Amino acid sequence: MTRTSTDPLLDHQAPDFCLPDAAGERACLEDYRGRWVVLYAYPRDGTPGCTLEARLFSDALETFEALNATVLGVSSDPPEKHAAFARKHALRHRLLSDQEHDLLVSYGTWKEKKLYGKVMMGTERSTFLIDPAGTIRAVWRRVKVPGHPDAVLETLASLSAGGT
């Protein structure tokens, strides 16, 4: 859950993306220029860890917004599944669908995983803090959910207060 200071994406322009959200509307990184973006990648809608993470980010949404930040979740689930997930848990932030894994690959979160002795491809839970100019300012890989949104908020507050 610790922030990675040596990640290859750190201090580089964030890979661009345009993806459908739960309503089927396109969300592009460039739409958020001038705002901080918290982009979190998660494995699947409805699993215990993913549900907790989404709810924690949603619960803290006003605090993120007060710091000029937008929260976006992304997984490979289709928009319809995102819509049902968001409705069931009253999520208030956008969930993006990356069924082709383009964003997940470009951000380095689509990885080989082992589960019960089987090897498969899947999403590594990760979060990226992107500044208003589109530069990745913080990266968290292999995130452990409890306390994670608070750690992101703390980093965001620190970086935004520093005039970056």
Q: How far apart, in whole angstroms, are the C-alpha atoms of residue 41 and residue 109?
A: 7
Entry pTM = 0.94
Map out the domains of the chain with their CATH numbers.
Answer: 3-27+51-161 (3.40.30.10)
> Catalytic residues, which ones?
50
- At 148, give phi and psi (nearest 5°): -65, -50
pLDDT range class, residue 3, cuts 50, 70, 90: low
Q: In the predicted model, what is the mean pLDDT of residues 85-107?
A: 97
pLDDT in tens, 123-150: 999 999 999 999 999 999 999 999 999 9
